[in-house]
Amino acid sequence: MKKHFRENLTWPLWAFILVFALGSCQDKEDQPIASANVATNEWIKEVMDEVYYWLEDMRTPISKDSDPEDYFESLLNRPTDRFSAIYPDYQELINSLQGVSREAGYEILLARESNQNENVLAFVVYTKKGSPAQSAGLLRGDIITQINGQTLTLSNYQNLLKQRSSAHTLNFFRFDTASNSYRPQPQVSLETVILSENPNFLDTIYTVNNQKIGYVIYHFFAPGVNGGNQYDQQMDEIFGRFKAEGINHLILDFRYNGGGFVGSAVNLASLIAPNVTSQDIFSRTKYNSFLSQFEQIRDLEIRRFNTKMQNLGNILEGNRVHIITSGRTASASELIINGLKPFMNVFLIGGRTVGKNVGSIPFEDEDNPDNKYGILPIVTMIFNRDGNSDYINGFVPNVEANELSQQVLLPLGDRNEYLLSLAIQQITGVGARVKLVERSDMGSSFEDKIRFGQIIENKISIKNHP
């Protein structure tokens, strides 16, 4: 039988499934194809018939010559399935999951300027190293009001934000401490370039009231690029420094972390949970009714911790980890929260998380070079060691706070920054006084990313595969 698909980085599993789980069969004879859509849609259906988590609830497809995106959508178990997706370019999909994309290099949160007008404000939350935005001097806290000379409003902001994917101009304001007000800045012009973003954004140690606090900002879960694991290794090094410095508290900042690869989530959790080894269960994975009948798949349903010499678990006071969250905290971030709960006190500060307890695998059509599509169907549901997976409505924070409620977005890592200050206050009883304003969160640039809301199954292997 022809191999119709594989998961990037984990092809042995799917080669095994095709050879042993599906059984042997004869190659299909080449048939005339009425249109390119027919071949693409037949491939989509073959994949979904084998791996889709809600197999029994998959819907009857529309015509095979339909647009592939419409055809894929017609199969899905909506509204239960909120996350399966199709992309026109598989390689772009894989690149995005690893943090590689064409962009100007800045991320934004959106809020309405006032109930008295329809203007929309775009708050810069961070810029990326080596990006055009960083070179142009754009800073966290800057407020963008115009893109390409047009003011953002309720009626046009979504279309204007799409213009950021190519060269564009920005008009923006910056807070001036001397006058205690926002001042207009000179217009900037930004090109877009291919950026490879490192998810390990910031790490530092604070000493407050004799408490030593390790702080990590982690923007997405990826082991590295081009099949490497340099990002996971950097995280190991960060925790190694924390351990050597003798921290006794840990704050993980997931406010912008929309998910990523499971392997990196396991790596991070293994640095935190106390007394865990490669014998301890981190999570349980459930596949569909077809795949679950095979013993080799059942062997994959237990995911265990890694044994890490950099593990901090035993030195964290109160057996507690503090995690900063928001409405952008999803998937692999929530996997960390849920997976650590059986082992320690997980204390959340910020906003309610997204609520995604299901995982995907990216597939491409290797037999048809004319088919560039990539699909990310939901393939698994994920539970913690104790079998809990009941967070489809998100995790509710212990201390609720909206980042946009602060008058000015202070630099990330500044002890007086609102969400970080709240976390430090939980640990030490000392927190900054922050002047709050009323702002409603209208969304962000993070939801538009391919990797947002993804749990990507990776680093799965089968022994004795052919």
Domain presence at residue 8: no
Q: What value does the CA radius of gyration of the chain take, rounded to a whole number of Å?
A: 23
Q: Residue 61: its pLDDT value, please?
A: 97
Strands 345-350 and 399-400: parallel
128 & 266 share domain: no
User: For position 338, what pLDDT does the model report?
Assistant: 98
Instruction: Assess whether 143 and 213 both reside in one domain.
Output: no
Continuous segment of H or E residues that includes residue 70? helix 68-75
Domain containing residue 181: CATH number = 2.30.42.10
Task: Sheet with 374-376: list strands edge to edge.
Answer: 85-87, 374-376, 363-364
Tokens of 34: 């009425």
Order of strands, sheet of 358-360, starting from the edge strand that comes earlier in the sequence: 259-261, 454-456, 358-360, 378-384, 281-286, 302-304
Q: Domain boundary at 168, 195, 222, which?
A: 195
pLDDT at position 296: 77
Considering the domain boundaries, does residue 88 fall inside one? Answer: no
Domain shared by 164 and 308, yes or no: no
305 and 413 part of one domain = yes
Whether 316 and 344 share a structural domain: yes
User: Domain boundary residue among 195, 220, 238?
Assistant: 195
pLDDT at res. 34: 55
Q: State whether 163 and 206 are in the same domain.
A: no
Tell me, what CATH number does 210's domain have?
3.90.226.10
pLDDT of residue 2: 37
pLDDT of 399 reads 97
Ranges of H-type helices in 271-369: 295-298, 332-340
Does an H or E element contain 458, and which? none
User: What are residue 163's phi and psi, to 5 degrees?
Assistant: -70, -10
What pTM value is reported for the model?
0.90
The number of C-alpha atoms within 13 Å of 324 and in the hemisphere containing its C-beta is: 28
- Let me know whether 342 and 230 are in one domain: yes
Could you tell me if residue 58 is inside a domain?
Answer: no
Helix or strand (DSSP H, E) at 191: none
If asked whether residues 335 and 405 sit together in one domain, one would say yes
**Is 61 contained in some domain?**
no
pLDDT tens column, 74-95? 999 999 999 999 999 999 999 9
Whether residues 279 and 420 share a domain: the answer is yes
Query: Using CA atoms, how far apart are residues 335 and 143, in angstroms rounded to an integer?
Result: 33
Mean pLDDT in order along the chain per 10 residues (466 residues): 38 42 42 75 96 97 97 98 95 92 97 93 98 98 98 97 97 96 97 97 97 98 92 98 98 96 96 96 95 81 95 95 97 97 98 96 93 96 96 97 94 96 95 84 91 68 33
Token digits for 127? 């810029």
Find the domain containing 426 and state its range.
Answer: 197-285+300-357+385-439
Average pLDDT over the chain, rounded to whole? Answer: 90
In a domain, 60, yes or no: no
How far is the CA of 6 from the CAs of 35, 97, 362, 374, in angstroms? Answer: 24, 16, 8, 11
Per the CB < 8 A criterion, the answer to whether 262 and 226 are in contact is no
Q: Do 162 and 209 fall into the same domain?
A: no
Residues 129 and 271 both lie in one domain: no
Backbone angles phi, psi at 291, to 5 degrees: -65, -35
Instruction: Please identify, among 136, 160, 195, the residue that sits at the C-terminal boundary of a domain.
Output: 195
DSSP readout, 273-290? STT--TTSEEEEEE--TT
Same domain for 225 and 166, yes or no, is: no
